[in-house]
Amino acid sequence: MTKERTQVADVDRSLYDFTKSEEGYERYADGLTPDIVRAISAKKDEPQWMLDLRLKALDEYHRRPMATNWGPSIAGLDLDHISTYVSPKTKQASSWDDVPADIKDTFERLGIPEAERESLAGVGAQYDSEIVYHNMREEVAKQGVVYTTIEDALHDPKWEPVVHEYFGTLIPMTDHKFAALHYAVWSGGSFVYVPAGVSLDYPLQSYFRLNAQGAGQFEHTLIIVEPGANLHFIEGCSAPKYYEANLHAGAVELFVKDGARLRYSTIENWSKNMYNLNTKRATVGADAKMEWVSGSFGSHVSYLYPTTILAGDRSSCEFTGITFSGATQDLDTGCKVILNGRDTTASVSTKSISKDGGINTFRSSVVVGRHADNARCTVSCQSLMLDNISRSDTIPAMDVRNPTASVGHEATIGRISDDTILYLMSRGCSEQEARTLVVNGFANPVSKELPMEYAVEMNNLIKLEMEGAIG
Amino acid sequence: MADTLLDVSGISAGTEDKPILHDVNLKVGAGETHVLMGPNGAGKSTLGHVIMGDPTYKVTSGTITFDGQDITELSPDKRSLAGVFLSYQAPVEVPGVPLYSFLRSISQMRPELKCTAREFRRRVGAIADELNLDQSFLMRELNVGFSGGEKKKIEMLQLLLLQPKLAILDETDSGLDVDALATVSHGIQRYRETVGGALIMITHNTRILERLTVDRTHVMVKGHLVAEGPASLIDDIDKNGFERFESQAAGEGDAR
């Protein structure tokens, strides 16, 4: 009887790994100068305040040193050679027929138009730096829901003041160096406004595709869910593999007003040359609820800690996340919760899987403010390591300033037991099927939270990651 | 004797640092019921696991032939698909894997059991009824949070669903209350009646054997098969214990 263990070959990423020519695209010079920032702003014909904000952010970016004392190394990221703006030669379309054939083909292969027809209330599709497609069902628009790009909102006299009021207030440009970079060169993303009391039956989805080599994607997502409203927003991301580093430094600002509910789901599958330095933050009003579902599969290096500020009394949040780290991946993920309101509750449940030398670090920060009487927070983190060369760390931090608060943390790190593999194999599963079954089961609490087709995509991603030759 | 289904020939096996089984010879004919008895730590479970192909144990000599095929080097999944089934003393819990879809996938792996989703639902439903198993169990995660008795019922459910040619039941009856014991016992009977497969019962409890027609009884002590006889040997052991076999095997080396 052979005792050899699964050998896993390079993952077949052909589903995501195709590139399209950049010929004829508008690509700005590499590096970061005021001229480039002015050029991006001029191209977008922005209000003066936005240009001023960009230039201030650029100063902020240059002023700040690169943090080198924590987290995965980003030494491979040479910002002087990352192109911050690459625009496909096309105008934004509201019909897929008006999207250039090669770009349309890309999104079709990713299944976006099909999902739109079947189960979405609206779709935005970003290709490199610009949104190439945006559309929303008419009945949703009739309810007063706005789903557009920030650029378009800035050109609408009704929405420009709203963007001005909210943009950059939840994630300040001084947050960290890459937040500053984001504000200097942001492009694309989504603006969503759900009026008070409106509840969307279907999710909205934005898909971000970075095709250009050695480029950055800096989309900004701004979502305002007014009192009593209800929205599910889905974000998907992928990129083909290049040998040069790519950078993703997006920002997501979510405003969930009193009594509202927002669910924000992400399936991120960037290619393994991507530095994913993304910032996401939500502020939640009284009796409101924020739900995060986050699947991180791709990228070479990730720093990702979606933050929830439970500002209103009785507000709550749930964070459900999974991170899968394979060969060459160093993923530092987790979340932050700040409980400021009274009787607030937060529940964090994360899973991580590491394999083939992949590194997973789970970092959580729970802060309970002085006035947060009876705040409740539980953090649970489960890690699964599939071999002896992978690594998994858990770094929880808690800062509790109210004596009536209750905060709990539990973490487990484990491997797949030989007994489990034997059990499943003795019922007919091959060793690889047995391992995939266990890993999918481990991920099940997360995939259960996803809409059906995304749960299927996630299971497929796990299957792809687990596939390989048995030694 | 019927056609030989399982032929364990001169098998010695153990873990990396400890020999457990010594020159074990065991023949089971198609459709026969054999009982394997012996004191605790004799190596009975190890023999069951070695027949299933558990990589924890290394076979140092001998061959295992099943249904005319040398399976000594085959992995457990290949043995399973060939028709070997082992019911575990302590079935593992597999979180997040729904029992029903697990049953569906292990059933679909076998060309002879392939069927439509509707037919499968009917088949599983009928077996669950047979085992007094509430259908709600099928929607739960595989063995997660199940009691000892429920886990054994799930083993019987898989046995009746997969219809193996040979079932090794490793103390399936241990630790069960009277009702669960009756159900499991009924499951074994159904297997004998409907599938007609061979059985190797590893047990301490002779009660579960009362309703079965036992063809052969084997006694294992310290990794050796020291005695083989007809069903009446069970009564003998019931009265007199293993003492005479143990003294017979004394000095033959320690085993588990």
Q: Is B79's CB within 8 Å of A418's CB?
A: no
Whether A6 has a pLDDT exceeding 90, the answer reads no
In this prediction, residue A400 carries a pLDDT of 96
Structural domain count, chain B: 1
CA angle B218–B219–B222, rounded 5-degree value: 140
pTM: 0.84
Helix (H) or strand (E) holding A338: strand A330-339
In this prediction, residue A390 carries a pLDDT of 92
Instruction: Give CA–CA dist A447/B77, Å, rounded.
Output: 28
Domain residue spans of chain A: 26-422, 423-471
pLDDT category at A13 given cuts 50, 70, 90 is: low
Q: Which residue has the higher pLDDT, A465 or A399?
A: A399
Q: Which residue of B has its CA nearest to A446?
A: B96
Q: For residue A245, what are its two tokens?
A: 């580093």
Q: Say if B14 is an interface residue toward chain A (CB within 8 Å).
A: no
Q: Is A426's CB within 8 Å of B77's CB?
A: yes
Which residue of A423, A429, A444 is in closest CB contact with B92? A423
Q: Say if B145 is an interface residue toward chain A (CB within 8 Å).
A: no
Mean pLDDT score, B110-122: 95
Which residue of B56, B94, B106 is in closest CB contact with A428? B106
Whether A469 has a pLDDT exceeding 60, the answer reads no
Tens-digit pLDDT profile for residues A331-354 = 999 999 999 999 999 999 999 999
Q: Say if B88 is an interface residue toward chain A (CB within 8 Å).
A: yes
Which residue of B56, B106, B109 is in closest CB contact with A418? B56
For residues A217 and A183, is the Cβ–Cβ distance under 8 A? no
In this prediction, residue A88 carries a pLDDT of 76
Q: Is B109's CB within 8 Å of A429's CB?
A: yes
For residues A385 and A414, is the Cβ–Cβ distance under 8 A? yes
Three-class secondary structure assignment of chain B: CCCEEEEEEEEEEEECCEEEEEEEEEEEECCCEEEEECCCCCCHHHHHHHHHCCCCCEEEEEEEEECCEECCCCCHHHHHHHCEEEECCCCCCCCCCEHHHHHHHHHHCCHHHCCCHHHHHHHHHHHHHHCCCCHHHHHCECCCCCCHHHHHHHHHHHHHHHCCCEEEEECCCCCCCHHHHHHHHHHHHHHHHHHCCEEEEECCCCHHHCCCCCCEEEEEECCEEEEEECCHHHHHHHHHCCHHHHHHHCCCCCCC
Which residue of B52, B55, B106 is in closest CB contact with A429? B106
Tens-digit pLDDT profile for residues A83-113 = 888 877 777 888 888 888 888 888 887 778 8
Instruction: Give CA–CA dist B86/A429, Å, rounded.
Output: 14
- State the average pLDDT for chain A: 88
Rg (CA), chain A: 22
Tokens 């400890």 -> residue:
B18
Q: Is A429's CB within 8 Å of B77's CB?
A: yes
Tokens 């490199």 -> residue:
A128
Helix (H) or strand (E) holding A316: strand A316-325
Among candidate residues A421, A447, A417, A444, the one with its CA nearest the CA of residue A432: A421
Q: Say if B115 is an interface residue toward chain A (CB within 8 Å).
A: no
Q: For residue B235, what are its two tokens?
A: 């009564």
- State the average pLDDT for chain B: 92
Q: Is A426's CB within 8 Å of B80's CB?
A: yes
Q: Say if B146 is an interface residue toward chain A (CB within 8 Å).
A: no
Q: Is B97's CB within 8 Å of A440's CB?
A: yes
Tens-digit pLDDT profile for residues A260-293 = 999 999 988 888 889 999 999 999 999 999 999 9
In this prediction, residue A194 carries a pLDDT of 98
Tens-digit pLDDT profile for residues B154-172 = 999 999 999 999 999 999 8
Q: Is A420's CB within 8 Å of B81's CB?
A: no
Whether A15 has a pLDDT exceeding 70, the answer reads no
Instruction: Give CA–CA dist A449/A460, Å, rounded.
Output: 16
In this prediction, residue A5 carries a pLDDT of 36
For residues B228 and B241, is the Cβ–Cβ distance under 8 A? no
In this prediction, residue A470 carries a pLDDT of 31
Q: Which range has the worst mean pLDDT, A4-8, A272-276, B48-52, B251-255?
A: A4-8
Which residue of B95, B106, B109 is in closest CB contact with A441? B95
What count of CB pairs under 8 Å joins A to B? 86
Whether A121 has a pLDDT exceeding 70, the answer reads yes
Chain B 40-69, residues with CB within 8 Å of chain A CB atoms: 52-59
For A190, B199, B248, the CA distances from B219, given in Å and listed in that order, are 74, 16, 12
Q: What is the DSSP code (8-state) at residue A40?
A: H
Which residue of A3, A434, A442 is in closest CB contact with B55? A3
Give A425's contacts in chain B (Cβ within 8 Å): 53, 75-77, 80
Residues near A347 by Cβ (< 8 Å), separated by ≥ 6? A316, A317, A318, A319, A377, A378
ipTM of the complex: 0.95
Rg (CA), chain B: 18
In this prediction, residue A455 carries a pLDDT of 80
For residues B8 and B24, is the Cβ–Cβ distance under 8 A? yes
A417 min Cα distance to partner chain B (Å): 10
Domain of residue B60: give its range: 4-249
In this prediction, residue A301 carries a pLDDT of 95
The answer to whether residue B145 is domain-embedded is yes
Q: Which range has the worst mean pLDDT, A77-86, A257-266, A308-317, B130-139?
A: A77-86
In this prediction, residue A118 carries a pLDDT of 78
Q: Which residue of B has its CA nearest to A447?
A: B96
Which residue of A426, A438, A445 is in closest CB contact with B76? A426
Mean pLDDT score, A141-164: 95
Tens-digit pLDDT profile for residues B21-57 = 999 999 999 999 999 999 989 999 999 999 999 999 9
The answer to whether residue B71 is domain-embedded is yes
CA angle A214–A217–A221, rounded 5-degree value: 175
The answer to whether residue B255 is domain-embedded is no
pLDDT category at A2 given cuts 50, 70, 90 is: very low
Tens-digit pLDDT profile for residues A132-152 = 888 888 889 999 999 999 999
B179 min Cα distance to partner chain A (Å): 26
Give B55's contacts in chain A (Cβ within 8 Å): 1-3, 418, 422
Mutation pick from A383, A415, A418, A423 vs chain B, by most beta carbons of B within 10 Å, is A423
In this prediction, residue A142 carries a pLDDT of 93
The answer to whether residue B254 is domain-embedded is no
Q: Is B162's CB within 8 Å of A438's CB?
A: no
In this prediction, residue A11 carries a pLDDT of 41
For A205, A207, A258, A446, the CA distances from A189, given in Å and listed in that order, are 11, 9, 25, 25
Sheet strands side by side (includes A316-325): A130-136, A122-127, A204-209, A230-238, A261-269, A289-296, A316-325, A345-354, A376-385, A406-415
Whether B123 has a pLDDT exceeding 80, the answer reads yes
Mean pLDDT score, B106-119: 95
Mean pLDDT score, B201-215: 84
Q: Which residue of A has its CA nearest to B163?
A: A427
Q: For residue A244, what are its two tokens?
A: 């040069």
Give A446's contacts in chain B (Cβ within 8 Å): none
Q: Which range has the worst mean pLDDT, A455-469, B13-27, B157-171, B218-232?
A: A455-469
Q: Which residue of B has its CA nearest to A442?
A: B96
Q: What are φ and ψ of residue B51, in 5° steps? A: -65, -35
Among candidate residues A375, A317, A301, the one with its CA nearest the CA of residue A349: A317
Bridge partner list, A394: A362
Q: Say if B152 is an interface residue toward chain A (CB within 8 Å).
A: no
Chain B 154-193, residues with CB within 8 Å of chain A CB atoms: 158, 162
Whether B256 has a pLDDT exceeding 60, the answer reads no
pLDDT category at A416 given cuts 50, 70, 90 is: very high
Q: Is B77's CB within 8 Å of A430's CB?
A: yes
The answer to whether residue B113 is domain-embedded is yes
A233 min Cα distance to partner chain B (Å): 26
Q: For residue B101, what are its two tokens?
A: 């879809």
pLDDT category at B252 given cuts 50, 70, 90 is: low
Report the interhelical angle of A101-109 vs A112-119 (nearest 10°).
Answer: 60
- Residues from A contacting B (CB-CB < 8 Å) are 1-3, 417-420, 422-431, 433-434, 437-438, 440-445
Q: Is B53's CB within 8 Å of A437's CB?
A: no
pLDDT category at B215 given cuts 50, 70, 90 is: very high
Q: For residue A441, what are its two tokens?
A: 């089961």
CATH of the domain at B161: 3.40.50.300
